[in-house]
Amino acid sequence: MDLTDGEEEPMPRRGQALRFPRTWGRGIFFAAAALLLPACGNNVQVHGNLPDPELIAEIQPGAYRRQDVADLLGSPSAVSTFEDSRWYYIGQKVSQFAFLKPDVLERSILVVSFDGSGRVDRTRTYTLEDGQDIDPVDRITPTEGRDLNLLQELLGNIGRFPTDAMNKQ
């Protein structure tokens, strides 16, 4: 008994695979490609604080105080370590394609120096061109102490503590 009258295909029997029209495979492929390919696109991100050059030009030495600078540019990315006489606004714009190494497009470091009364002494902007490559030193700083093997590390504390200290816990 044939259930098809030429219009529909019969239901697959046990053990038979479902057959999809060939156009379905292409449609699924193109839909997946349309969803996944934008993830590989060029991604531009801004890290840190990149103040607007017009705002930087507005800061006049002697006229602005710390609070004025903070109101204009926001809180600094860093403050000088030993004195708070310098504020640093650090930011960069990077571009990354898929999983490749990010490419730095723009870097800006704004240094705002203050005098003893808390007024702006001067401003200075450093860019990506001002940066320098630094080679790290390969030397190892020697440390004092003993070189212990694994067994000495595991058994090193046995007998080191007085018994009355153990009983108080």
d(CA 25, CA 46): 40
pTM: 0.58
Q: Does domain 40-130 have CATH number 3.30.1450?
A: yes
Cβ pair 79, 86 in contact under 8 A: yes
DSSP sequence for 11-43: PPPTTPPP---HHHHHHHHHHHHHHHGGGGSEE
In the chain, where are the structural domains located?
Answer: 40-130
pLDDT at residue 8, as a whole number:
65
More confident position, 4 or 92: 92
Mean residue pLDDT of the chain comes to 81
Sequence-ordered list of residues with C-beta below 8 angstroms from that of 125, at least 6 positions apart, any chain? 56, 108, 109, 110, 111
Band of residue 2 on the pLDDT scale cut at 50, 70, 90: low
Please name the amino acid found at residue 161: F
Rounded (10°) CA dihedral 27, 28, 34, 35: 150
**100-132 per-position pLDDT tens digit:** 888 889 999 999 999 989 899 999 999 988 888
The dihedrals phi and psi of 147, each to the nearest 5 degrees, come to -90, 115
